[in-house]
Amino acid sequence: MPWRSPLALVRDALRGQREREKDLRTLVSNLPYEDLDKRCQPNRFFPGNAIKTTKYTLLFFIPANLFEQFHRLANIYFVGLAILNFVPVVNAFQPEVALIPICVILALTALKDGWEDFRRYQSDRKLNNTPCFIYCRKEKDFVERRWKDVKVGDFVKVVSNEIVPADLLLLHASDPNGVCHIETANLDGETNLKQRRVVPGLCASTAEFEPESFNCMVACERPNNNLNHFKCYVEKPDKRKTGIGIESLLLRGCTLRNTDHAVGFVVYAGHETKSMLNNNGPRYKRSKLERKLNTDVMFCVILLFIMCLVGAVGHFIWLKALPSIPPYLVPDSHGHLDAPALSGFYMFFTMIILLQVVIPISLYVSIELVKVGQVFLITSDVDLYDEDSDSRIQCKALNITEDLGQIEYVFSDKTGTLTENKMVFRRCTVMGTEYSHSENAVRLAVLDEPDSDEEVIFNQRPGLRRTGWALDAEDADPGASAHRPGSRRRSKVAGGAQGDAAFSSPLEMEVIPDRKLLERIARTEYTSSNSRKTDPYLDFFLALAICNTVVVSTATAQRQRVSGHSRSSLSGNPLDTLSGLARKVGSLHRAVASWQPMSKRSRTFSERLVIEEDRYNVPKKSESGGLGATGARNPVAVSSDKLCYEAESPDEAALVYAARAYGFTLVARTPDSVTVRLPNGKELVFEVLDTLTFDSNRKRMSVLVRHPYTKELMLYTKGADYTIMELLGTPYAEQLNGNQKSIATSTQTHLDGYGKEGLRTLCFAKKVLSERMYNDWSTIRQRALADINNREELIRDTAVHLETNLTLLGATGIEDRLQESVPDTIVALREAGIQVWVLTGDKPETAVNIAYACRLLDEGDLVINMTSKNKLTCASVLDSTLEEVRKYGDSPQITDMVPTIALVIDGRTLAMSLESDLQQRFVELAQRCRSVLCCRVTPLQKSAVVKVIREKLKVMTLAVGDGANDVNMIQAADVGIGISGQEGMQAVMASDFAISRFKHLKKLLLVHGHWCYTRLASMIIYFFYKNVTYVNLLFWYQFFCGFSGTAMIDYWLLIFFNLFFTSVPPIMFGIMDRDVSAETLLGLPELYRTGQGSGEYKFSTFWVAMLDAFYQSLVCFFIPYLTYQDSDIDVFTFGTPLNTVSLFTILLHLSIEIKTWTFVHWVTILGSVAMYFIATLAYSATCITCNPPSNPYWILQNQMIDPMFYLVCIITTVVALLPRYTFHVLRNTLAPSPLVRARHLDRLDPTVREQWIKEWRGLRSAADGNLPGLSASPSPSPAPETSEDPSPPSPAPSDITGDDITLNVITES
Active-site annotation, residues: 413
Whether the CB-CB separation of 567 and 613 falls below 8 Å is answered with no
For residues 473 and 760, is the Cβ–Cβ distance under 8 A?
Answer: yes
558 contacts 258 by C-beta, under 8 angstroms: yes
Task: Answer for the pair 867, 1297: CB distance below 8 angstroms, yes or no.
Answer: yes
Cβ atoms of 664 and 681 within 8 Å: the answer is: no
Distance CA 245, CA 497 (A): 37
Neighbours of 207 (CB within 10 A): 8
CA–CA distances in Å: residue 773 to residues 710, 713, 730, 797, 1083: 17, 10, 18, 16, 67
Report the SS3 class of residue 1176: helix
Do 694 and 663 contact (CB within 8 A), yes or no?
Answer: no
At residue 722, what is the residue type? Y
Exposure class string for 549-562: b at 16+ Cβ within 10 A, else e: bbbbbbbebbbeeb
Number of neighbouring beta carbons within 10 Å of residue 765: 29
**How far apart are the C-alpha atoms of 634 and 622, rounded to whole Å?**
8
1044 vs 1011: CA distance, rounded Å: 45
Residues 6+ apart with CB under 8 A from 1284: 434
Yes or no: say if 913 and 920 are a contact pair by the CB < 8 Å rule: no
CB 907 within 8 A of CB 935: yes
Which residues have C-beta within 8 Å of that of residue 120, sequence separation ≥ 6? 53, 54, 55
User: In whole angstroms, what is the distance from residue 827 CA to residue 1252 CA?
Assistant: 20
Kind of pairing between the strands at 975-979 and 993-995: parallel
Q: Is residue 1199 within 8 Å of 1133, Cβ to Cβ?
A: yes
Taking the alpha carbons at both ends of the chain, their separation in whole angstroms is 87
708, 699 Cβ separation under 8 angstroms: no
Are the C-beta atoms of residues 387 and 776 closer than 8 Å to each other? Answer: no
Q: DSSP letters along 1001-1024, please?
A: HHHIIIIIIHHHHHHHHHHHHHHH
How far apart, in Å, are the Cα atoms of 829 and each of 94, 409, 410, 801, 1254?
56, 10, 9, 48, 17
Alpha-carbon distance values, 283 to 293, 969, 975 (Å):
20, 15, 12
Does residue 138 sit in helix, strand or coil? coil
Q: How far apart are alpha carbons 141 and 720 in whole angstroms? A: 51
CA dist 197 → 175, 178, 244, 647, 701 (Å): 10, 6, 10, 17, 19
- List the Cα angle 185/187/188 in 5-degree steps: 70
Angle, to 10 degrees, between the axis of helix 536-546 and the axis of helix 650-661?
140
CA distances from 559 to 156, 261, 498, 895 (A): 21, 13, 16, 61
Is the previous residue joined to 1189 through a cis bond, with omega within 30 degrees of 0? Answer: yes
Strand stretches in 693-759, DSSP E:
700-706, 713-719
Are the C-beta atoms of residues 980 and 994 closer than 8 Å to each other?
Answer: yes
